[in-house]
Amino acid sequence: MLDDAVATQDTVTQLIGAIRRVRREVSGGAEAREQLVDALVSDAHRLLGQLPEQELGPRAAEAVALLALVAGRDVEPVEGSDGTDGRWRIAGRVAPDRVISTVDPDTGHVHKTVHHRQDGFTGHLAIEPDTGIITDCALRRPAPKTTNSGHS
């Protein structure tokens, strides 16, 4: 038996991956994705609007806040909509402190160079110059970029 480094994915994650692939490979896939984004944002808004009034524990409150953030910050009304008709698309601009992962909301895009980007944290080390001993370390969310292009 050989182990594989593949990440096991639930059905929702597999569907998202398959939808992204169809969008890239199939003519008309982008339009279908736009309809999916609209439906997902509408579902998120409906869910948030129908939650019963109750005191939430820390984990539940964090989950609700994250859904509200993703369904609010990363989308905008479709062209010709004022936002009251519930028609949505992924925003053409990227918020500097955009959440890039619902699994680890504190991670961000790290720009090592103009052409090399990876996701994660910025690491900071304090090293004693004579001995090379690490005397302090910290991980921080990457600083937001000052200029952004459209992202979807």
Each residue's pLDDT, cut to its tens digit, for the chain (152 residues) gives 555 556 677 787 788 788 888 888 888 888 888 888 888 888 888 899 888 888 889 999 888 988 888 888 778 888 888 877 878 888 877 666 666 666 666 666 666 666 766 666 667 788 888 888 989 888 776 665 544 444 44
Q: What length does the chain have?
A: 152
Q: What CA–CA distance (Å, rounded) separates 15 from 21?
A: 10
Cβ contact 76:89 at 8 Å: yes
Residue recorded with tokens 């790290």: 110
